[in-house]
Every structure is written in C-alpha cells, then in structure tokens.
Amino acid sequence: MPKPPPMRYTVDMRTRPERRPIRTLDEQLVNRIAAGEVVERPASALKELIENALDAGAARIEIEVAMGGRRLIRVRDDGIGMRREDALNALQRHATSKIRTDADLNAIVTLGFRGEALPSIASVSRMEILTRAFEDETGTLIVVEGGEIKRVEEVGAPIGTTVTVRDLFYNVPARLKFLKTVPTELGHIVETVTRYAFAYPDVSFRLVHERQELIFTPGNGDLLTAVASIWGRELVQGMVEVDYERDGVRVWGLVAPPHLTRPTRQHQYFYVNLRPVRNKTLTAALDEAYKSLTPEKRYPACVLLVGVDPRLVDVNVHPAKIEVRFAREQAVFEAVVNAVRAALLHHGMIPSALPAGAARGQPSVVAPPRLPDAETLHQLLLQRAGLEPVPTERTSPPHEEATHPAAASGVSIPMPAAQATAPEAPSHTDEPADHAPTPMPPIPAAEDVVATPSSEAEPVRASHLPFAYLLEDLQILGQVRNTYIVAATKHGLVLIDQHVAHERVLYEQLHRTRGGTPVPKQHLLAPEILQLSRRDALLLQERLPELQAIGFELEPFGQDAFLVRAVPAALKGDPVQVLRDIVDELAELSVNKRLPMAREQVWAATACKMAVKAGDPLSPPEMRKLIEDLARTENPYLCPHGRPITLTLAWDEIEKRFKRS
C-alpha cells in the first residue's frame, strides 16, 4: 500500500492565493486577540487587577485564588469604586479614566493607562464585577461571559470594587493546555503579589489559595516589615536601608550586605515610580556597586525603588509594561551606584578577605602524606560533593594510625606512626561561595613521594570507557587560576573546566540512583530549619520527592519552613545554604525563564551546588581522577546546564599554527 503524501504546512508561493476581502474584525475576536498579549497566564490577569486596585487608591487588597488561578481569581479592594456607567464603559476596549490626550502619554503617573485589561480578561473567562463608588448609596453588579454582558443589576455593596474571574481560558482550549501545573502557576501568582507588596508597603495585601493564607502584609508603610512578611526575617535582618537623591533621581529601598548573596537574581526587585520593571541599566548599576565585593556569579538581594520625573521615562514600550526606557540613562545609573555604595559604606559592610582558618588564628600545618590510591581519590572528589558513604569509625590505636591532612576533605588515610605526631590540619568544609574558599591541603605528585605497594594506584584500563580517547597518553600539566585543568593527550592539548566537569560526573551519579540504590544519608545531630519565602516554599514542597531521592530528608515545619533532618552522606558546608541555593536555581528556571520543572533539573541544580568550585585548588592525582571519571560519563562535552566542559586543540592544528606541518 503506497504511503500517503506528507502533510504540507507551508504555502507554495508560486500558487496565486485566493482573493479574500479585508473586513473589520468582530469586537469579541479583537478582545481575544488582545488577551493573547495581556493575559498570558493567571498571574497576568491578576497583575492587571492589582494595578487597577492600586490606581483606585486602595489601602487593602484581598486576593483569593483556586486551582492556581484557573478556577478562580478574586480581587477585592477598598478603593474609590466605580459608578454604573463607568463600570460598563470599563468593559469596552481602550476605555480608561487615566489618560485623555497624547500629552498624557508623555507623563504617565498611573500603573494602567491603555484600557485593555478588563475587556481582554472578560473575553476569555466568566467575570463578575461588583463595585460601588463612594458617592453612591448602592452598588452595581455586572456579569460577563466570554466578553458578552449577561446581566447588570443594582445591588448593595461596600465601597470599592470586587472583580471575580472564573474558568480562565475556558473558551480558548489552545491557551488552556499550555498552562503549567498548579504549584507552578501559583508560584507565578505569589511572585506577582510579592512585587506589588514591596512597592506599596502602605497597602495591606492578603493572598489566599483555597483557604490557605500565603501572603499577608500589614500595610503600615514600613518597607522592612513588608519584605520580612514575605521573605522572612532571617533574610531581611541583615539588609540595610538606601535613601539617596541626586540630579532629580531618588533611590531608596533595601540592599543585602556583600556576604549575603544568592546564586541567582531571584531576590533582586527593581521599581521605577512604583512600577515593577526589568531594566538592564538598573541591573548593571547594582552589579557595579557590588563590584569586587561579591564573588563571581553571586548576587545580592535588593528591593530598590527609583523615582524620576515621569516625563523622563517611557513605560509604553512593552505589552505587559514591565520594561522602561530612561531619557537620562547615565544619571539613573550613577544615582543607583552611588546610593548603594553610600549605604554599604555607611554601615561598614566590607567582607573579610582572610580565609576562614586564618581569621580564627588556626595553624596551617601539613604533614607529608602518602599517595592515595584511585579509590581514595574518587572518595575525595565525592566527599567534596557529599555523596559518598559515611566513613566508618576507626578502631585502630592512635599510635598505629593517624588522620592524613587530606581528611580535610572527609576521607581518612592511614599514615605511618612517625607522622602521627604532626599537628592535625583543621577540618575542611565547603565554604559558601560568599567567602574565599579555604584551600585543601595539596596531595603531592607521585614523583615527590616514595611509592609503596599499598600506595600504588591501580592502573586504569581505558579501553572499556565510553570516551577512552580522553585518557590516551594522558599527562596532567597543571591547573590554571585554580579553575581550569590543562592536560596533554595523544590527540592534543585539553582544557577542562573543573567545576562543570565535576558537575557532569555528579549529575550522572544522581541520575543513576533514580530507582536503584538510594543515596546514602547522614542524619544531623539536631534538625536545622530552612526558612524560605512563600513562593520558594511552594516550589520546594512540589519537589520534595526528588530531593529526598538524592539524599535530603525534609519535612514541612510551619507555613514557609522545613526541617532538614538528613543530607547526602558527609556533605560538607551548611546544608541549609546548599538547599537555599538549589531552590533559588529551580525558581529561576520555573518562574523567570518559565521552563517546565522536571526531576532532571533538580539533579542538575544539586550537582551544581555540590561540585568542586572555580577557585578550589586540586592536586595532580585529583585532577587525573576527575578526568577519568569524566571519561566514564555519557557526555563529557557539556554540563547539565549546557556549558562546555572540554576544549581540545589538536596537535595537527598546533603544528600548523607554528608552521611545522
């Protein structure tokens, strides 16, 4: 039977198209098209309703959602309300009370101004508007379905407006099927409310999801209180106030000290004239203010508000009004840089440049070790990530065996009795990336140690490895900037990024545990409390099974907190900080980049946080073992996040460049 011809999705441009008359689109169809830009998801609809409430002068905004906003979004405010004719006009496209002439567009002082939100939302949902103006004795109820007004009644109502949106996208199945899971959509809703709660600390916000209160701010006008109500006092207690004005630009808000940083920009909030925005100028200014104060790829938390003359900022450059342009961009940049620096300088927030051990006055004595075998090197690398089984307690007498200083990584190595009296180096822990890493005592190269039968590493047979050619005639040449491994092989010179290489190795180890042997755990002597923001707590709750499968044992402890009872075996460093970094990266993926969450992302984030860091010194044996482990992976070229791991310069190319070919 012959196969049917393939379906064609393109039009043959050589065929003359059928002539069709140009017609004006139906009003409801126009509203649905506009809804595609204005109402992308439940959080987008909520954003528009919150802005309307704030423009109406509300002092209290109550938000109720169900099923992540799909089934219900209700926003109740105590603003000035609308009269009957105004409420009906508000359902017409481009009907607004906020601008009248072209000149008004050059100095926008309200959050909304286009008159698109209500008709766009009403066209893709079942909507009710209950409103009463403060001048009237009675209110108005309007019922709309799919953009068509079904009922208008005069009813009793409090002053203010309540907008109820049910069954969002019920008549647009294509948009409905692209919505994410309830926790993901709810995370976007929490993020939206958070942004406006920070900008308007004098307004009380309350968010309830299916009878569970997620956010409440008192509305007392104190920014620190509003931020602490959502982020928690643990994060906010170290933040300092910013208040600065120069050349017509005012900058105020809160910034975190340089030693309290995050792995993503999730906790950076910027506002222009109380409007939440994304702006590269403001981000670059904050980075410049913290330049040389924070580690690379670590970001301080901030809530920064910028006030400028409305005539000098254009907010009409993005459908969602989240991007702005400045007429005096350099002045805004300099004002933000100077404001943040002045606040940090005033509070004396300069991080210590001393390593953790030196700051405590601890000695740094290294006894000459013996060369560990391949298994020990493997344990050393795993120990840095906290994934190997917990070492068993030692039962040998002290005079027979002592701890090798390389146990700073958590692995005990036998030493001759003659070396047992050497002072023991301080136990190494993975310092948070906010501080300078404490170098691990180096393991000397083989030529510096007298080999014994017990210390000789078993030769590695490369023939059975997936990428064996990485090990052919492998010669470790050294480490550059404590970040890149330089090696020579039969095929050329190889540069390896040690962090992403270790990340790839750990990721595949975590990947192999998905249904096999569970990752060994180490129970904490006393459970530690992980306090998160509302949005992050919701995200972590959704991903608890994946984290438990890779060795973390967590349980809810109150509304936004979790008890950490166990961690991957021998994990070094602060488990709470590691978990917080993992959650930040997952939030960056699911909320900002809007990618669907999967367990592979949990593994990738965990591997990234546990891997050897850029700046960590490695000994030649450790470098060799890392390359051998990398050769066993399925993909030694890219880390789970897509960054390159290895770069090879072939010998032929080198000889060609030196004109030897």
Asked if 398 contacts 420 with a C-beta cutoff of 8 angstroms, the reply is: yes
Mean pLDDT on 20-47? 76
Q: Range with the lowest mean pLDDT among 317-321, 634-638, 646-650?
A: 317-321
Task: Give, in order, the Cα–Cα distances in Å from 571 to each of 382, 525, 639.
Answer: 9, 14, 21
Q: Which residue has the higher pLDDT, 20 or 386?
A: 20
> Looking at the predicted structure, is the pLDDT value of residue 355 above 60?
no
Q: Of all helices (H) and strands (E), which one includes residue 195? A: helix 182-199
pLDDT in tens, 37-59: 668 899 999 999 999 999 999 99
Domains and CATH numbers, the chain: 27-216 (3.30.565.10), 238-346 (3.30.230.10)
- Model confidence at 61, pLDDT cuts 50, 70, 90, reads very high
Q: Which amino acid is at 125?
A: S
Residues 6+ apart with CB under 8 A from 246: 331, 334, 335, 338
622/520 Cα distance (integer angstroms): 23
Q: Range with the lowest mean pLDDT among 384-398, 460-474, 561-575?
A: 384-398
Q: Among residues 275, 221, 225, 209, which one has the least CA distance to residue 63? A: 209
pLDDT in tens, 153-189: 999 999 999 999 999 999 888 888 888 889 889 999 9
- Model confidence at 3, pLDDT cuts 50, 70, 90, reads low
CB count within 10 Å of CB 427 equals: 13
Asked if 534 contacts 527 with a C-beta cutoff of 8 angstroms, the reply is: no
- Model confidence at 595, pLDDT cuts 50, 70, 90, reads very low
- Model confidence at 480, pLDDT cuts 50, 70, 90, reads very high
Residues 6+ apart with CB under 8 A from 371: 443, 444, 446, 449, 451, 455, 456, 457, 621
**Two structure tokens written together for 339:** 């404001």
**Two structure tokens written together for 553:** 């044992």
42/181 Cα distance (integer angstroms): 12
**Two structure tokens written together for 527:** 């459970």
